[in-house]
Amino acid sequence: MAEEKKKVDAPCCSGDSNMLYLWAVGGLVLGLIVGYFIFPGMVPATNTGATGTGGNTTATTVFTLDQAKVSQIGGFLANYYFVSTGEETAATFTRYVDKGAYVELYYTVAGQEMPIMVSKDYKYFYAGAYELAPTIAQMEAARQAAANETAAQAQGIPQSSNPQVQMFVMSYCPYGNQAEGGLVPVIQLLADSATFEPVYIIYPSGNECADNNGTRYCSLHGNAELWQDVREKIIFSMYGEKKWADYVAKANTDCTLSNIDTCWVTAADAVGGINTTAVVAEFEASKFTILASEMAKTNQNSVSGSPTIKINGVTFNGGRTAQAYKDAICGAYTTAPEECGQNVSSTATAASGSCG
């Protein structure tokens, strides 16, 4: 069922674990800068070397300036600065000093020049033997965690072990459809550790409505949209949010409001794994119960416009890109799953309007 979730325990990337990264890697950075002067035995013995801004040297072991590696290490320093201060800065390579057994790379960070000591094959940081690639990866993960938490905090979104995401939409609001396009890859990424629910915005009055025992149920774009709202909610309830996401992406692309009464079946068949006969049976048996529930949720949350996204009960007012949604939701975990370290993308346009 859609509401059944497995809690995911991950070793990183927010809250206390983010601080562990900061302490561990921050200690490393400090060691890289001052370790040579305090503990010279931790760094390979030096020869009188060459200096320069590019090219080869003629020291004991030939050093080749690898611009890609230099840029990667600069990114590491910039990420550390961001995790430490929450501020963006550039780490600009300025020069190097060949020390014979290793090399000092100098960067200007926040207006100050600092050396980073690395092995000539770019495999290790000094002091000590810290492997460069995994250390850089750790810092990238720490930066992503900090960015996620910042995105959530900026919106005042509280944290929880299982973030609750409600998507208030209308099945044929163009802005809502674009927001769904941004959410689809995030749902596919995080559905095992967060709870996603589409809620269809239903009004008690409108130009074209369905009546049940004196109660009117209306969707902004008429009854064709109203009944598609019900079908989409049934698909969500029967098959879960991942299948729902696949289905709405297909229906939004292939169907229109004028043909959705029949096209919905074509879209479901194209996605696969949806028993349209069972959907029709549930529609006939429960459509007004579903509409009453959706209207109650609309009213309880004081929602009138599509799309409205709520994360842990707080309306998200950020961008409508997949990455923006992912960052905000990942920042709402007390302990973020490892999937939060992944980037997401979509073809959705970041629209700013709404229906309603």
Long-range contacts of 211-220 (CB under 8 A, 24+ apart): 212/288, 212/291, 215/292, 217/288, 217/291, 217/292, 217/295, 219/170, 219/171, 220/170, 220/173, 220/306, 220/355, 220/356
Q: What is the value of pTM for the model shown? A: 0.59
Expressed in angstroms, the distance from the first to the final Cα of the chain is 31
Q: Confirm if 123 and 10 have CB atoms less than 8 A apart.
A: no
C-alpha–C-alpha distance, residues 91 and 343, integer Å: 23
Amino acid at residue number 297: K
What are the strands, taking DSSP E only, across the chain?
51-52, 91-98, 103-109, 112-118, 124-126, 130-131, 164-169, 195-200, 209-212, 215-218, 308-311, 314-316
Beta-carbon contacts of residue 282 (< 8 Å; ≥ 6 apart)? 234, 238
The structure tokens listed for 128 are 């000590």
Residue that the structure tokens 């949010």 belong to: 241
Tokens at 238, concatenated: 């029967």
Contact 2, 137 (CB under 8 A): no
List the beta bridge partners of residue 166: 197, 310
Q: Which pLDDT score is estimated for 137? A: 77
The ranges assigned to domains in the chain are: 16-145, 155-341
Phi then psi for residue 48, to 5 deg, are: -70, 115
Q: For residue 202, what pLDDT is reported?
A: 96
CB 136 within 8 A of CB 34: no
For residues 255 and 267, is the Cβ–Cβ distance under 8 A?
A: yes
- Residue-wise over 150-173: b if at least 16 C-beta within 10 A, else e? ebbeebebebeeebebbbbbbbbb
Indicate left, alpha or beta for 189 from its phi (over 0: left) and psi (-120 to 50: alpha).
Answer: alpha
**Residues written for the chain:** 356
Q: Please tell me the distance from the alpha carbon of residue 48 to that of residue 67, in angstroms, as a whole number.
A: 23
Per-residue confidence in pLDDT tens, the chain, 356 aa: 333 333 333 333 333 434 433 434 444 444 444 333 333 333 444 444 455 555 444 445 788 999 999 999 999 888 887 776 667 889 999 999 998 888 999 999 888 888 888 989 998 887 555 567 777 777 777 676 666 665 665 568 899 999 999 999 999 998 889 889 999 999 999 999 999 999 999 999 988 999 999 999 999 999 999 999 999 999 999 999 999 999 999 999 999 999 999 999 999 999 999 999 999 999 999 999 999 999 999 999 999 889 999 999 999 888 888 988 998 899 899 999 999 988 887 554 455 567 86
What was the pLDDT predicted at 339? 92
CATH 3.40.30.10 corresponds to the domain 155-341: yes
The SS3 call for residue 147 is: helix
